[in-house]
Chains A and B, each alone.
Chain A
Amino acid sequence: DIQMTQSPSSVSASVGDRVTIICRASQGISTWLGWYQQKPGKAPKLLIYGASSLQSGVPSRFSGSGSGTDFTLTISRLQPEDFATYYCQQTKSFPLTFGGGTKVEIK
């Protein structure tokens, strides 16, 4: 199975800050990577697919990059509605696996 490791597990930031979340795969997955945002009590929402493609309707302050084993999700200017938990997911092979999550909290 491909293990997905996210860091940090949590980050405290202020509105307007730039936030970067890292996701590392235990083996190469090309660009078969997605990022999701989840708010408490809600279903996750797809933000990025294919490592860097922005899902329709997602604000352009979200961006993804990387290929192979190392990936990043960047929020360029954090907004109040961005405080949430973020998950990466690999779709290179079964079983599909998620990272452990990164909680973005208000500083």
Chain B
Amino acid sequence: EVQLVESGGGLVKPGGSLTLSCAASGFSFSNVWMSWVRQAPGMGLEWVGRIKGISAVETTEYAAPVKGRFTISRDDSKNTLYLQINSLKVEDTAVYYCTTVSNSGEFFKYWGQGALVTVSS
């Protein structure tokens, strides 16, 4: 059974930093492309970024609002995906989901339960 479990969310002050983790199990993690998607309270879904698997040349893509502040990385030896978030803004407040990327296109097949990040002074 595929499982994605996010951790590391919490309350952070504007300008602060945070790293989210996503522990994956039930599939061959190193071969699977992964993405982060976020959802602000009461709002819709917003793609954050994507990282390719071990066999790919180019690795990451980011949405414009987070480029330069967010970094997606992975540790295939630990089956874990990371999202490092710097220079946090109030508008980054959201539930952050890690997802697997389908090999039929950039569709999000499996999702974690989400980690809430609240940015407030």
Contact = CB atoms under 8 A, between A and B. Distances in A.
Contact of A96 (B97, B104, B106): B106
Nearest to B114: A43
Contact of B107 (A46, A97, A101): A46
Interface string A18-44: 000000000000001010101000011
Interface string A55-92: 10000000000000000000000000000000101010
Contacts of B57: none
B63 interface: yes
A34 B107 contact: yes
Nearest to A96: B47
A97 B63 CA distance: 9
Interface residues of chain A: helix, strand, loop or mixed (majority): loop
Contacts of B64: 1, 95
A36 B45 contact: yes
Interface in B65-121: 97, 102, 104-109, 111-114
B45 A44 contact: yes
A98 to B, nearest CB: 4
B104 A49 contact: yes
Interface of A: 1, 32, 34, 36, 38, 43-46, 49-50, 53, 55, 87, 89, 91, 94-101
